[in-house]
Amino acid sequence: MAGSGEEGLYSRQLYVLGGGARRLAGAAVLVSGLRGTGAQVAAALVLAGTGRVVLHDRDAACTADRAHQFLLEDSDVGRNRAEASQRALTELNPRVAVAAHIGELSEDFLASFQVVVLTESSLEEQLRIGDFCHAQGICFIVADAKGLAGQLFCDFGERFVVDDPAEGDLVCAAVQHISQGNPGVVTCMGAEDSHGHLFCDGDLVTFSGVEGMMELNSREPVPVRVLDAFRLEIGDTSSFSPYSRGGLVSQLRLPQVHSYEPLRRALAEPKIRVASHEELPRSHSLHAAFQALHAFRGEQGRLPRPRALADAERVLELARSLGAQQGPLDEDIVRAFASVSAGNLCPVAAIVGALAAQEVLKAITRKFLPLDQWLYFDALECLALEGATRLTEEDCAPTGSRYDGQIAVFGATFQEQLGRQNYLVVGAGAIGCELLKNFAMMGLAAGPGGDLTVTDMDTVALSNLHRQLLYRSADISKPKSVVAAAAVWRMNPSVRVTAHQNQVGPASEPLYGDDFFRRLDGVVSALDTLEARAYLESRCRRCLTPLLDSGTEGLRGNVLAMVPPLTKPLGPAGAPGDGTFPLCTLRYFPRTIQHTLQWARDEFEGLFQLPAEHVNRFMEDPAFPEQLPAGKALEVLEQVRGSLWERPRDWQDCVRWARRHWQSRYHDAIAQLLHTFPPEHETSPGVPFWAGDRSCPHPLTFNPDNDAHLEYILAAAHLFAQAHKVPPCSDRAAAQTILRSVVLPPFAPQEGLQISLAEEQEEAQVPADCRRLAELTQDLVQRREELVGGEEAQVPPMEPIHFEKDNNIHVDFITAASNLRAENYGIPPADWLTSKRIAGRIVPAIITTTAAVAGLACLEVYKLVWGCQDLSCYRNSNLCLSDCLLLRVQPLPPPTYRYGGREWSCWDRLEMRAVGADGQEMTVQDVLDWLQRTHGWTVTMLLRGHTLLYDREEDEETRARQRVQRLSENLEAAGEPRQRELELLYVCEGEDAEAEDNRPPLLCSLP
């Protein structure tokens, strides 16, 4: 059954949060403090579809808020922050009730919420509200960002039930064998990629469909112990019946109960989440620093002045006196933290706010383990940048501009430098929206000479709206880049932003050539394909342009920095599986729901796309099959014949066709397979055919009152009608009436039918029946003449239907077709959303991950703007919000190699200005002489790509002709366009075998 409109909007998020996401619509959340962090929390919750979000803030918005609070407009300065933010959030998702509260946070008021989030509260208010929430069972979160550091705390009460503690689909594997013993050993079948099962020690599993050892099918869940990639121990099976065949072993996740300490107690005895034990001392120092900052504010009535040494030392004294730290206090961290704690950075607010919002979603959906209980984040490595270390209190003093929060950290001169940047953002999807929002807040390209280019070929779709911040429902079908650029300009009219609708690839090199990339200060990518990512990396690598690459999948995300010449190039990403399966597996021996869904995708294409395309082409040009191999031509013409002879007159004919097709696929085909290979069939004496990776199927019997059967008929009939341009209908009762009147002949098996049992047999070319081909061609030509009345067809007679993952009818068919096939083979079915995800190859996505990843990327932009040449200051980041883990590590240095007696970096290249003394382009001989003179290398071969410019092995006449040619002559003769710069390859005398792929490229600049 098709998903609802809500599922269409939130489908990518539902794949992350699971069934618990349906609790969001009934939840009420309070977000107190509407500066940068609070705005990020509130926006994420509104986009996610939380039922009621109440905003609380007692202060008025100021000019400096405009550099981190993206919900405000210039006209909102002077208004209450909560009331000003309410309008923007309501526009963001009209389905969510957004309210503003500017009064006290009384206990009566707090009691109506399931979750309370504090982002700008004093420690006294945190303790008071934390005590109340703990006593009342209200989930309580503190999220605070100060300068370059952030703090997150969660208290979900004394008894919080987590329904599903882990991410990802439940693990399932087909059983190959189960031993009788203590312990019994389960052997699982290997998948097509030769990987084994995915179970872990301690996983609880159940069994279904096991024949022979049937006691396992009704057994309570049992824990497993992993022996290897294919075997599991499951406990005592010695008294069970011998295993015969079949069965599935499936993971089961049970709810978990967790208990949390109230804030008052957790302050003194903190449990801090860290990615590694080495980070714990740093986090404990930040724990003390945040408490000391509260004490300083209570004492002075303000935050420490930026870069004021006396204020930083006072915070350090308070940290020492509080005695709150566990272990030794890192005084340098406390000083650094205090010196910029008055700053407000949009990227830090995005990271802390996104992490906090994900904890709110955990509280509501009860999906994933909540944070236990503290998390600290910092990017204090930014203060070690050359130039940042010399900043003074005067450099960072407020100027009255919107960027004062950023100036407090990096100084006014740096802000001017940000405005002069020239950046390219490739992709305006979920991550791209968050990057552009941050850039607008930061003031990137908002000054003289600055330019921000965003390019994306796509248009806004409904499913984008729950996680792509810059788009609204009115923007659906509009170009993403154009809408995003307009949104950036509204957030910060000073940003010079340009929208393109181009793909960055070989076809667009005339627009995005070497000159374009060399003018850029950096490129930030938010691409969703490995091919596009690899191409962009190659362009940046060639032009020595810094690249920040980011990506997400569900609650996991990463940011990789490529900074020439400091870091290792990104290199090829691990290629995912291509999702293909052997044809014999799909046709006869499916084992998993992935097999049946791929089979259903193939059915969709074979029923509603290819026949229509072939009919239309035949009606236009009846001779086109002559261009195909005989075997393929016969297959195509059979499809054309079937479509032309089965043309429906009305919707009732479409229902009858769907009923016949149902019978053919789910009864007759299976009955024929069992006739050829009966259940008791043996491949050799004592070796059953239906064993191992072959599950014995059973035919289905049609029942018009069976919902699964009827769903298939309705979806198939609708698509068949659409393909034949017949008005469809969705009347279930009428369809059932038609179905009850359909009488089909009984199944009659074919004798001697050959069924391929291996991929090689499937791929073998079937000899074409030339006589049948000729007869079929003649019949179809005659039929065509009858249809067009002797005239050329003016309108294609059929409508090819291409599968669209966001079309509900398409997914209805795929789901029904797959689940019926799964029922044939005893495979557990998949629900509509799961079928849509797998068949549509949809990557799960959620706003919290994209916001955090974009924030992490923008922290690296700060370093690029500084022109940082210290590798230790850069970070690659990996994020896993399901476990609230953030790992930031220094990128690897570039690899080196030896060539020509010296060591080279992968970034090194030879550069020569290929202009002779006469001002003309150099000849090949000039290049050979330059390499000999400059490096002492005797060149034996010179190439540009596959074009040979010089080869010492040629005869003297050929060599002489090659040497006098100018560099671009051979290229023009080969049909290649003239370029201002050529990259040449060379082979030198005396090279060893290892040098084949390890030599610095030669770049020649032409006049």
Three-class secondary structure of residue 598 per DSSP: helix
Q: Are 472 and 487 in contact (CB under 8 A)?
A: no
Structure tokens, 16: 């992350």
For residues 537 and 541, give the distance between their C-alpha atoms in angstroms, rounded to a whole number. 6
Contact between 50 and 391 (Cβ < 8 Å):
no
Terminal C-alpha separation, the chain: 66
Dihedral angle, C-alpha 127, 130, 136, 137, nearest 10 °: -150
Strand ranges, E, within 501-562: 522-525, 547-553, 556-562
573: left (phi over 0), alpha (psi -120 to 50) or beta: beta
**CB-neighbour burial class of residue 278 (10 A; exposed 0-12, middle 13-18, buried 19+):** exposed
Q: Which two tokens stand for residue 356?
A: 């906090």
DSSP symbols for 471-486: --GGGTTSBHHHHHHH
- C-alpha separations of 114 from 139, 156, 157 in Å: 6, 10, 11
Nearest Cα residue to 378 out of 855, 869, 846, 880: 855
Return the closest-CA partner of residue 809 out of 715, 729, 731, 721: 715
> Residue 1004 and residue 978: Cα distance in Å, rounded?
13
Phi, psi of 951 (to 5 degrees): -145, 115
Structure-token pair, residue 203: 């996983």
Which run of H or of E encompasses 817? helix 808-824
Catalytic site includes residue 584 = yes
Query: Mutual orientation of helices 732-741 and 707-723 as an angle, nearest 10°?
Result: 90
* Radius of gyration (C-alpha) of the chain in whole angstroms: 33
Closest by Cα among 805, 416, 758, 817 to 596:
817
Contact call for residues 50 and 29 (beta carbons, < 8 A): yes
Other beta carbons less than 10 A from residue 399's beta carbon: 12
The CA-based angle 101-346-298, given to 5 degrees, is: 60
Marked catalytic residue, from 382, 543, 584, 988:
584
Report yes or no: 8 and 33 within 8 Å, Cβ to Cβ: no
- Of 442, 428, 437, the C-alpha closest to 482 is 428
**Distance, C-alpha 64 to centroid of its chain:** 34
User: Any idea which residue has 């070319």 for tokens?
Assistant: 765
- Active site (catalytic) residues: 584
